[in-house]
């Protein structure tokens, strides 16, 4: 997927791209044409860095409803000629998900658009999954013939159909079609279902990888073979060592951790760290100093998994190192340190923001740790991360940390969080936002009545406006 270009956080487009609650609030007061232009830009050019952990579709769908937005631009995007040549589902996935939510809110035009695209579009499987959750049986049955027509009736086509049936995220349409009154359709779908089940059974009966009776050296060789072909197998290889290694094998494992091939070294370090071996910490430090980049990363990952008191003590000594091990030490203290480690965690947080910016991967753990340790003087840094990060997932973590460290959070960011794109962030807001603001009360009531809202959010809302809650 392309790397999205994110507008500055102070602009309407930048707010909407980030999924911030302020994006909705600003869009509702901006000129309608300007707001719709920014909204369409976001939906047609997915701004998420990682669509698997970041939500936007419900957020954008709600704004389409509030703005009474037309779907002409989404339609033009879905049926553009690029749909034939650009088969990456990231091109149309967000737009289809938005249409799915709009259909659930009763937008007939969104439902019809999904049906049309499922019949002829390249990313038809995603559209079909959206319809599986929202369409009626008659609408889904009408898609049986155009869907099956995508697959040739020869052996190769039937094999592709079996894979599509087996890997479908939502099985409802295929189950309907297996009972279709048209014999030709029902027979093909049932045959594909049977083939998919048989393929799954074959994979289970012919597993690849280590076998009982393997030696320690064989496990190391298997890990290196994976690395040679670009597959990181040192984690499962380390689990295999637990089964095959005995006390007499420790010298060989220590030797591999010091000077083995990359695959063997990564495997040995992971195995020793998971077992809290007495030599693990020294070997990790040596690996960071002398290893290749892949060994350094494996060593750092192994260290961060350690739970021992010795590992935490060593982290205190490593936390100021200007290298990957120092960064890992800061993250370990954020997760497992005590109140005496607040200064080290705060220093790691500031250094990460200063050196890598508000989207640094290390911030996820450091922000959580800041909230866990209640580092009140970290609030300015957390507010900066909240405003500037392009990751709605990280912003939600920053909101949780602010709720634990910043007395101004309930009357400040918590209010806009009620409109945030992430349900976990809306849940935090529902528990903390001050209700003196009329917008807060109105939005709490809207979330409580919205059938598309997550149960956890509605539970938090009911704790504020339910019959036993304080009056709002």
Report the SS3 class of residue 290.
helix
- pLDDT of res. 267: 95
pLDDT digit string, tens, across residues 150-194: 999 898 988 899 999 988 889 999 999 999 899 889 999 998 888
- pLDDT of res. 213: 62
- pLDDT of res. 199: 52
Token pair of 397 as six digits: 């973590």
Backbone angles phi, psi at 211, to 5 degrees: -125, 155
- pLDDT of res. 204: 45
Instruction: With CA atoms as reference, report the closest residue to 377 among 354, 359, 404.
Output: 404
> Is residue 345 within 8 Å of residue 375, measured between CB atoms?
yes
HSE, CB side, 13 Å, CA atoms: give it for residue 174. 21
pLDDT digit string, tens, across residues 72-122: 999 999 999 999 888 888 899 999 999 999 999 999 999 999 999 999 999
- How many helices, marked H, and strands, marked E, lie in the chain? 30, 0
Backbone angles phi, psi at 121, to 5 degrees: -80, 160
* Torsion angle defined by CA atoms of residues 103, 108, 114 and 116, in that order, rounded to the nearest 10 degrees: 170
User: What is the C-alpha R_g of the chain?
Assistant: 27
- pLDDT of res. 208: 55
pLDDT digit string, tens, across residues 5-35: 899 999 999 999 999 999 999 999 999 999 9
More confident residue, 226 or 364: 364
pTM for the predicted model, two decimal places: 0.89
Choose the weakest-confidence range: 125-129, 201-205, 291-295: 201-205
d(CA 59, CA 94): 11
pLDDT digit string, tens, across residues 435-447: 888 899 999 999 9
- pLDDT of res. 86: 87
- pLDDT of res. 198: 47
Report the SS3 class of residue 354.
helix
Instruction: With CA atoms as reference, report the closest residue to 175 among 165, 161, 160, 164.
Output: 165
* Total number of residues shown for the chain: 472
pLDDT digit string, tens, across residues 185-222: 999 999 888 875 545 544 544 555 555 567 899 999 99
- Helix 392-405 to helix 423-432 angle, to the nearest 10 degrees? 20
> Is residue 216 within 8 Å of residue 244, measured between CB atoms?
yes
Give the list of residues 6+ apart from residue 373 with CB closer than 8 angstroms, or none.
Answer: 334, 337, 338, 339, 341, 342, 345
Mean pLDDT of 435-462: 92
Per the prediction, the chain carries an average pLDDT of 91
pLDDT digit string, tens, across residues 32-86: 999 999 999 999 999 998 888 899 999 999 999 999 999 999 999 999 999 988 8
- pLDDT of res. 400: 97
Question: How much of the chain, in percent, has pLDDT values that exceed 90?
Answer: 81
pLDDT digit string, tens, across residues 362-418: 999 999 999 999 999 999 999 999 999 999 999 999 999 999 999 999 999 999 999
d(CA 390, CA 279): 41
HSE, CB side, 13 Å, CA atoms: give it for residue 334. 25
> What secondary structure, in 3-state letters, does the chain show?
CCCCCCCCCCCHHHHHHHCCHHHHHHHHHCCHHHHHHHHHHHHHCCCCCCCCCCCCHHHHHHHHHHHCCCCHHHHHHHCCCHHHHCCCHHHCHHHHHHHHHHHHCCCHHHHHHHHHHHHHCCCHHHHHHHHHHHCCHHHHHCCHHHHHCCCCCCHHHHHHHHHHHHHCCCCHHHHHHHCCCCHHHHHHHHHHHHHHHHHHHHHHHCCCCCCCCCCHHHHHHHHHHHHHCCCCCHHHHHHHHHHHCCHHHHHHHHHHHHHCCHHHHHHHHHHHHHCCCCCHHHHHHHHHHHCCHHHHHHHHHHHHHCCCHHHHHHHHHHCCCCCHHHHHHHHHHHHHCCHHHHHHHHHHHHHHHHHHCCCCCCHHHHHHHHHHHCCHHHHHHHHHHHHHCCCHHHHHHHHHHHHHHCCCCCCCHHHHHCCCCCHHHHHHHHHHCCCCCHHHHHHHHHHHHCCCCCHHHHHHHHHHHCCCCCCC
């Amino acid at each position: 997927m392309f790397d999205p270009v994110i507008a500055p956080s102070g602009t309407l487009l930048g707010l909407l791209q980030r999924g911030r609650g302020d994006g909705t609030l600003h869009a509702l007061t901006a000129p309608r044409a300007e707001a719709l232009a920014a909204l369409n830009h976001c939906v047609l050019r997915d701004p998420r860095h990682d669509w698997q952990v970041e939500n936007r579709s419900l957020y954008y769908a709600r704004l389409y409803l509030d703005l009474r937005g037309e779907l002409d631009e989404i339609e033009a995007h879905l049926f553009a000629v690029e749909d034939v040549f650009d088969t990456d589902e990231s091109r149309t996935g967000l737009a289809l998900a938005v249409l799915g939510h709009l259909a659930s809110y009763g937008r007939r035009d969104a439902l019809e658009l999904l049906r049309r695209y499922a019949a002829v579009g390249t990313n038809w499987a995603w559209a079909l999954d959206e319809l599986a959750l929202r369409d009626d049986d008659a609408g889904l049955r009408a898609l049986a013939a155009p869907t099956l027509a995508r697959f040739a009736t020869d052996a190769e086509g039937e094999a592709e159909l079996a894979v599509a049936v087996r890997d479908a995220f939502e099985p409802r349409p295929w189950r309907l079609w297996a009972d279709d009154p048209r014999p030709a359709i029902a027979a093909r779908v049932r045959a594909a279902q049977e083939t998919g089940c048989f393929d799954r059974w074959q994979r289970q009966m012919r597993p690849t990888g280590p076998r009982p009776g393997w030696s320690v050296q064989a496990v190391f060789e298997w890990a290196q073979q994976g690395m040679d072909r670009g597959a990181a197998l040192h984690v499962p290889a380390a689990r295999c060592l637990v089964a095959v290694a005995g006390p007499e094998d420790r010298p060989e494992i220590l030797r591999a951790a010091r000077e083995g091939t990359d695959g063997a070294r990564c495997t040995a370090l992971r195995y020793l760290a998971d077992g809290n071996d007495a030599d693990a910490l020294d070997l990790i430090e040596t690996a960071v100093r002398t290893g290749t980049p892949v060994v350094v990363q494996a060593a750092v990952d192994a260290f961060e998994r350690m739970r021992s008191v010795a590992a935490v003590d060593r982290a205190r000594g490593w936390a100021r190192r200007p290298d990957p091990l120092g960064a890992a030490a800061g993250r370990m203290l954020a997760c497992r340190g005590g109140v005496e480690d607040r200064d080290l965690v705060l220093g790691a947080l500031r250094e990460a923001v200063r050196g890598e910016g508000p989207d640094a991967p290390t911030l996820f753990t450091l922000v959580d740790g800041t909230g866990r340790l209640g580092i009140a003087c970290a609030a300015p840094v957390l507010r900066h991360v909240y405003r500037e990060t392009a990751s709605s997932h990280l912003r939600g973590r920053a909101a949780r940390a602010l709720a634990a460290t910043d007395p101004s959070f309930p009357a400040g960011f918590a209010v806009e969080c009620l409109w945030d794109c992430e349900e976990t962030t809306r849940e935090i807001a529902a528990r903390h936002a001050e209700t003196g603001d009329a917008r807060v009360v109105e939005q709490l009531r809207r979330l409580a009545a919205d059938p598309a809202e997550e149960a956890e959010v509605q539970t938090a809302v009911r704790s504020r406006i339910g019959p036993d809650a304080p009056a709002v």
